[in-house]
Amino acid sequence: MKYLKLLLIIAFTLLLLFAASDLPYRGEADNQMNQEISMTGTPVPGNYYIQEAYNDAHTPNIVTVILGDYRSIDTLGEQIVIFTAGLIVFLLLRNRKEDEENDQ
């Protein structure tokens, strides 16, 4: 079992290294993710964001414009996730001490 685990780890390491050796270099203009047309033949929205973000919102930080404006419903979902997590903690841990006293 021990040798099987070791063998699996080595096999996956070799697989990942083989996959990583074929990755394109970062920031090259010819890369597929930097093209205006995607692999499926549709225009890439990121192209529009980079060109028009400042003109649309007068905000120099493109990330803020994308998160707050173009993708604002996604950010609303993130905020609701955090709010729900807080509510769950509140409901799970509320009055824990009193409940324990009542059980005894």
Contact residues for other proteins, defined by CB under 8 A: 55-61, 63-65, 67-69, 72-73, 75-76, 78-80, 82-83, 85-87, 89-90, 93-94, 96-97
Least separation in angstroms between CB 70 and other proteins: 10
Q: Cβ closer to other proteins: 30 or 98?
A: 98
Q: Tokens 């998160």, residue?
A: 67
Determine contact, residues 100/84, Cβ cutoff 8 Å.
Answer: no
Q: Cβ closer to other proteins: 12 or 83?
A: 83
How many Å separate Cα 10 from the centre of its chain?
A: 28
Q: Cβ closer to other proteins: 14 or 81?
A: 81
**What is the C-alpha separation between 52 and 43, in angstroms, rounded?**
15
Least separation in angstroms between CB 73 and other proteins: 6
Element (H, E) at 15: helix 2-20
